[in-house]
Amino acid sequence: MTDHMPMPKVSRLEVVSTGARRRWTLEEKQRIVTESYGGPRLVSVTARRNGLSTSQLFTWRRLAREGKLSGDGAPALVPVEITPVAAPVSISAPQPTSSASAQRARVGIIEIELGAGCRVRVDRDVDGEALRRVLELLRRQ
């Protein structure tokens, strides 16, 4: 039979940090992927030489084959033209304005032309994150 002795309390705890994650630029990723195709069994050698895991390098190679490791995925700037909204011409007597909110609704419309006949009109109060997601989806089509 063994005697059960209470475990001593930990008096010191050492935390070992692995450091911050490395951020690889697109050019570095493309260079490393190209280097890994240089000969047989170069994936592990290339990964070791550049300080990354082989699984990460295989992921980059797969993305490159699928065309997803290119600069095309970066958001692009497009020209914007701001034009005033012309008031409709009416021959009849002017109608009284319905409300202040109706007047505000006519002002502040943003029109975004994506090309290929695709045009998006949004109000000035549009949620920026929602608009970004919609434009991203339309740009992919």
DSSP class per residue in 3-65: PP-PPPPP---------PPPPPPHHHHHHHHHHHTSSTTHHHHHHHHHT--HHHHHHHHHHHH
Which range (19-28, 42-51, 122-131) has the least confidence? Answer: 122-131
Whole-number Å distance between alpha carbons of 21 and 30: 19
pLDDT-derived band at 108, boundaries 50, 70, 90: confident
pLDDT-derived band at 55, boundaries 50, 70, 90: very high
pLDDT (tens digit, 9 = 90+) per residue, 22-34?
888 999 999 999 9
Ranges of each domain in the chain: 26-73, 101-140
pLDDT score for 80: 72
pLDDT (tens digit, 9 = 90+) per residue, 34-43?
999 987 778 9
**Higher pLDDT pick, 24 / 13:** 24
